[in-house]
C-alpha cells in the first residue's frame, strides 16, 4: 500500500524504532498520539509554506486577518483581594454575565485597522486569513470574496493558537482593556435599576463606544508584529524566521532539521550503493562505510 503521508509515516517508523531500542513497549495509543502530534506539525509547516508563497507577491496593505472574539456585558475578574476570614466574597455585577456580544477585529499586515461594518472594495488582488468557522467558508461567502478580488486562506483546525494572528497577539490584550473599562463603569457609574430591581447592564451604545476606543488603542506596530509572529507574511526563504513566535519557530526548525537528516541519510545510502558497486563487487572484498 502506498503511504498517504510518506513523510509522517517515515517519522512514525523512526519513533517506534527509537522506543524499541530503549526497550520501551510501544502501544497503539502511543502510536496514535505520536501520529497526531506529527500530523499537526506537518499541517502547520505546509500551511506556512503555502501562505508565505502567496503573501510574498502581494503588498502588506492587501493582506488581511480577521476574527470574531466573544465578549460579555459583565466582565468581572475571577479573583479579588479581601480580608482574611470572610465567609463570602461578593462581586458587584449587573447580573448580565451570561449575555454575550461578538466583536469582529480586522486589520492588514501593514498595521491598518479596518473599521467595523465597512465594506471594502479591492482594486488589487488581496488575501484574507480566516479560521474554519462555517460562516467563513460557505460557498456564497467564498464567491463574495472572489468577486472582491480576495483569495481566502483558511487557517487549519487546531492550529489557530500559533497561526492565527488575532488569537496569538491581539484578542487577549483587547479583552483585558475591555474588562478595565467595564470595571471602571461598574465602580463609578450611577446605579440604574430595572423594573425587577436588578442593576441595568451597560447599554449597546456604551459597549460599542468601549469597543471603538479599545480598538484605537491597539498600535499599528502590534498588528504588524502579530502577522510576523505567526509567520504568515515572512519571506519563504527562511531569512525572517527569527521573527516567528518561539513556539512556531521550534516547530519549523525541528521539521527542517529532520528533513535535512532524512536527506543526508538518503544521500549516504546512495553513496554506499555506488561504492559497493565500484569497490566491493569489483575487487571481491566487503567495504564498511558506517
pTM for this prediction: 0.64
pLDDT tens digits for range 134-144: 888 888 888 88
Return contacts of 118-126, CB within 8 angstroms, 24+ apart: 120/148, 121/148, 122/62, 122/148, 122/149, 122/150, 123/149, 124/58, 124/59, 124/62, 124/149, 125/58, 125/62, 125/149, 125/150, 125/151, 126/58, 126/62, 126/63, 126/64, 126/150, 126/151
Give percent of the chain above pLDDT 70.
Answer: 83
Please give the radius of gyration of the chain, using alpha carbons only, rounded to the nearest integer.
27
Record the cell numbers describing residue 286, joined without a space.
Answer: 566487503
pLDDT tens digits for range 89-128: 777 777 777 788 888 888 999 999 987 543 444 456 788 8
The CATH label, of 1.10.287, 1.10.150, 3.90.550, 3.30.420, for the domain at 58-257 is 3.30.420
pLDDT tens, N- to C-terminus, the chain (290 residues): 666 677 788 888 988 998 898 888 988 888 888 888 888 888 888 888 888 888 888 889 889 888 888 888 888 777 788 788 777 777 777 777 778 888 888 899 999 998 754 344 445 678 889 888 888 888 888 888 888 788 888 888 888 888 999 999 999 999 999 999 999 998 887 778 777 778 888 888 999 999 999 999 999 999 999 999 999 889 888 889 899 988 888 887 775 555 554 555 555 555 445 444 444 444 444 444 34
Alpha carbon distance 145, 118 (integer Å):
14
> Which residues are 106's β-sheet partners?
66, 114
Phi/psi region, residue 104 (left: phi>0; alpha: psi -120 to 50; beta: rest), is beta
C-alpha dihedral sign at 77, 197, 185, 107: positive
Amino acid at each position: 500500500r502506498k503511504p498517504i503521508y510518506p513523510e509522517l509515516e517515515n517519522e512514525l517508523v523512526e519513533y517506534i524504532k527509537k522506543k524499541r531500542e530503549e526497550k520501551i513497549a510501544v502501544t497503539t495509543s502511543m502510536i496514535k498520539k505520536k501520529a497526531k502530534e506529527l500530523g499537526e506539525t506537518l499541517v502547520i509547516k505546509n500551511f506556512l509554506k503555502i501562505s508565505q508563497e502567496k503573501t510574498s507577491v502581494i503588498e502588506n496593505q492587501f493582506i488581511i486577518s480577521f476574527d470574531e472574539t466573544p465578549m460579555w456585558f459583565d466582565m468581572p475578574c475571577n479573583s479579588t483581594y479581601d480580608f482574611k476570614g470572610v465567609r463570602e466574597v461578593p462581586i458587584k455585577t449587573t447580573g448580565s454575565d451570561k449575555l454575550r456580544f461578538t466583536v469582529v477585529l480586522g486589520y492588514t499586515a501593514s498595521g491598518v485597522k479596518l473599521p467595523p461594518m465597512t465594506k471594502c472594495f479591492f482594486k488589487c488582488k488581496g488575501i484574507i486569513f480566516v479560521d474554519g468557522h462555517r460562516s467563513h467558508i460557505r460557498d456564497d461567502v467564498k464567491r463574495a470574496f472572489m468577486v472582491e478580488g480576495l483569495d481566502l486562506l483558511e487557517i487549519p483546525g487546531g492550529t489557530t493558537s500559533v497561526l492565527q494572528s488575532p488569537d496569538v497577539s491581539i484578542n487577549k490584550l483587547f479583552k483585558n482593556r475591555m474588562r478595565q473599562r467595564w470595571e471602571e463603569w461598574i465602580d463609578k457609574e450611577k446605579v440604574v435599576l430595572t423594573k425587577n430591581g436588578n442593576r441595568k447592564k451597560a447599554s449597546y451604545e456604551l459597549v460599542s463606544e468601549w469597543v471603538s476606543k479599545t480598538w484605537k488603542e491597539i498600535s499599528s506596530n502590534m498588528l504588524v508584529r502579530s502577522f510576523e509572529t505567526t509567520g504568515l507574511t515572512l519571506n519563504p526563504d527562511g531569512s525572517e524566521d527569527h521573527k516567528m513566535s518561539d513556539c512556531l519557530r521550534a516547530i519549523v526548525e525541528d521539521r527542517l532539521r529532520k528533513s535535512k537528516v532524512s536527506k543526508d541519510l538518503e544521500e549516504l545510502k546512495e553513496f554506499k550503493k555506488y561504492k559497493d558497486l565500484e569497490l566491493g563487487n569489483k575487487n571481491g572484498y566487503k567495504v564498511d562505510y558506517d
